[in-house]
Amino acid sequence: MSESPWWRGAVIYQIYPRSFMDSDGDGVGDLPGIIARLDHVASLGVDAIWVSPFFRSPMEDFGYDIADQCDVDPMFGTLADFDALLAKAHALGLKVMIDQVFSHTSNAHDWFRESRESRDNAKADWYVWADAKPDGTPPNNWLSIFGGPAWKWEPRRRQYYLHNFLSSQPDLNFHNPEVQQATLDYVRFWLDRGVDGFRLDSINFCFHDAQLRDNPPKPEALRIGRGFSPDNPYAFQYHHYNNTQPENIGFIERLRVLMDGYTDVAALGEISSEDSLATTAEYTGPGRLHMGYSFELLVEDFSAGYIRDTVQRLESAMDGWPCWAISNHDVVRAVTRWGGGDAGAAFAIQMIALVCTLRGSVCLYQGEELGLTEADVPFEALRDPYGITFWPNFKGRDGCRTPMPWTADADAGFSTGTPWLPIPDAHHAMSVAAQEADADSVLAHARRFLQWRRTQPALRTGSITFLDTPEPVLAFVRAQDGVQVLVAFNLSASPVEWRLTQTARPLAGHGLPMGELHDGALRLPAHGVYVATLDAVD
């Protein structure tokens, strides 16, 4: 394992700063708050943290609308606070990855303020501008992910600008070499500061079709998947032209050249395209991104067959390194999304074991180690513009963004002020403090398992081979240096039995709810797991 780079097979813990820990009583988490709780993260046995945006921003999309890529928003602290966070994390043995949002900025960014003033200023071509059609309508049919046309009229220039997300998030024009260079310059700023890598937001959205061709319509039966509800008109199109353009590869290769000039750093790309697995395979590997992840395991689909087919499709296509996530700040928490309202601790423990035994690196979202459920945030408390627009059919992303419950107190130990989102009553009983006192809690199991995983080279960097199993059993073998580890899951709430043809010797120390093997019959309890070494694989 020592010969592999740190990121290969790493477990990366995602911190959403607004909701992690508030140090100053304003109800919003901050960098000093993260520092105060880093010991908890280190105790889990993870390898790194990924910190979602903390840059200067008007916060219309809660940090993903950046007004200055090289400064910390006062809400979160200062650059000195970030340096202290970096030092504390490194002292605890944690690598630090931060978000970078290349494709767009806030409309409050100095670059955009200059660009919108005229058609001939120094930054006139830094964003995607286009003339109206003769009838005054937008230049093409492209749509915003957040609803409606992806174009907004700017009277100063008498032109439209492109925004794939909120209208306050204008898209940069990556066809302009100056934009590419400016982006690489602020990447270098953070590398020089000592970060260990980046999570690249919507990395396939950097370039647009220079001809501004219309996206073709999508048949109604196909308006599903990838997190886009059929209620959202964005699902009505094949997005062939507003993202995932061939020129993006050249920029990714330039980024990799820059990063290769630093020691032991990594880039993780978030990818959502018409064929996200194919794009992930294309974007990762030698000379490109170190890792990539897509939304295939962040959707509603949940079965052994779906997970097996998804992973095998990517495995067969890619030469790079995958990264898997089943929860993050944009989707319903996995315990609720896949487990339903009745999912309990056993399901939460199983989900951590599942995502952490697939071949690849892993992103665990804050609160997954507690088995946190999705919060039901009432409309009057919603903050997410996405949810406000599509209420009530889609409630947005606030339900997975509620503050971390550190204690069972009324404020959950998160803030002495009023939290920016309400903390569900159910989360108080699932707090870190409550679970610390329970040796059989999700947190206790997560710690034992993650720390044990670090001792298993085959689970960190080995190959993966899926076994032919009936629903609801998912089974695969991870192999490295002659060691073969079988991992089998019962994805249902009822006991199952599956016949195993290989000779297996159960492994201990992982703290998982184990099944039992008798005369070749593997009996798995509800949401049970079986981990063993194999003598041979047929």
Catalytic residues: 201, 270
Long-range contacts of 466-474 (CB under 8 A, 24+ apart): 466/308, 466/311, 466/312, 469/304, 469/498, 470/498, 471/303, 471/304, 471/305, 472/303, 472/304, 472/496, 473/304, 473/498, 473/524, 474/304, 474/307, 474/308, 474/354
* Rounded Cα distance, 58 and 78, in Å: 16
Tokens, residue 393: 């059919």
Tokens, residue 223: 């308006």
Q: What letters, b where the CB count within 10 A reaches 16 and e where it falls short, cover 467-485?
A: bebeebbbbbbbbbeeebb
Contact 258, 291 (CB under 8 A): no
Contact 271, 204 (CB under 8 A): yes
Please provide the size of the chain in residues. 538
> Secondary structure of 460-500 in the HEC alphabet?
HHCEEEECCCCCCEEEEEEEECCEEEEEEEECCCCCEEEEC
Number of C-beta neighbours around residue 518 at 10 A: 8
H helix runs in 73-210, sequence order: 79-91, 110-115, 177-193
Tokens, residue 44: 């889990």
* CA nearest neighbour of 365 among 20, 5, 8: 20
Q: Estimate to the nearest angstrom the gap between the alpha carbon of 399 and the chain centroid.
A: 16
Helix (H), strand (E) at residue 101:
strand 95-101
Tokens, residue 526: 């509800």
**Phi first, then psi: what are they for 159, rounded to 5°?**
-145, 165
